[in-house]
Amino acid sequence: MAPQLDSFISAVDRALRALLAPPTAGRPVPPSNPPSPTPVTGRDAQKADAALSAEDRRESAALMRVNHAGEMAAQALYHAQALFARKPQVREFMLHAAREETDHLAWCEARLKELGGRTSVLNPLWYAGSFGIGALAAMLGDRASLGFVAETERQVEGHLKSHLERLPAEDQRSRAIVEAMCHDEVGHGQQAQSAGAAPLPGPVRELMRRTAQIMTHTSYRL
């Protein structure tokens, strides 16, 4: 009973940290392209954004809010899948991926502050709903859970690439963050495939796509 209780307490702790504590990145914010010779923060970041029009700043902030909400959902998915994983190596894979998603969460939140934007007011809903989905995937077995990761990351890759097309050309800071996130998501998907991911049925993939669309469209505004 004790190991299960410890796992449950750890899951609650991770949820509270994701929702209430400022995310802390283990890696620095990706540099813009071309990179600055020194880290760009504070007033330097404001100067870099001076070329953005008010409309461009609003668009960038809205897109980064969507990405932040997506990373909040990713935290919940991985936390739930780790909690209900059957094999220790699958659990560790999920927790490792969640730590990298924490970097993404911190990067998006920092960028939103620079742009004068805000995070989604529905983040608790995104977390709770995604935790339930992740738990369901994990209860179907490790191969199904890994298949869910692979399909999720495939869809996220397409979503992030669409944001690269929509972000203002002058917003190199946001673009650098999204590009780095996309690289990590591709890696997670490939690792899940290598670990034995089972392919998901077409209707499940379509349901995942439609659910993601609802979250994306809502968090863009809220």
What value does the mean pLDDT take over residues 97-121? 91
Superfamily of domain 54-221: Ferritin, core subunit, four-helix bundle (1.20.1260.10)
Quote the pLDDT of residue 24: 75
In the chain, what percentage of residues exceed pLDDT 70? 83
202-215 confidence digits (pLDDT tens): 888 898 888 888 88
Please give the model's pTM, rounded to 2 decimal places: 0.84
Mean pLDDT of 19-41: 64
Residue 111 confidence class, pLDDT cut points 50, 70, 90: very high
Write down the pLDDT at residue 36. Answer: 43
What pLDDT is recorded for position 204? 87
Sign of CA dihedral 76, 77, 82, 85: positive
Asked whether the predicted pLDDT for residue 23 surpasses 80, the reply is no
In this prediction, residues 35-50 reach a mean pLDDT of 53
Check residues 50 and 54 and name the one with the higher pLDDT.
54
What is the mean predicted confidence (pLDDT) over 171-192? 93
**Per-residue pLDDT tens over the stretch 120-172:** 999 989 989 999 999 999 999 999 999 999 999 999 999 999 999 999 988 99
* pLDDT band per the 50, 70, 90 thresholds, residue 81: very high
Give 136: exposed, middle or buried? Use CB within 10 Å, 0-12, 13-18, 19+. Answer: middle
pLDDT in tens, 86-95: 999 999 999 9
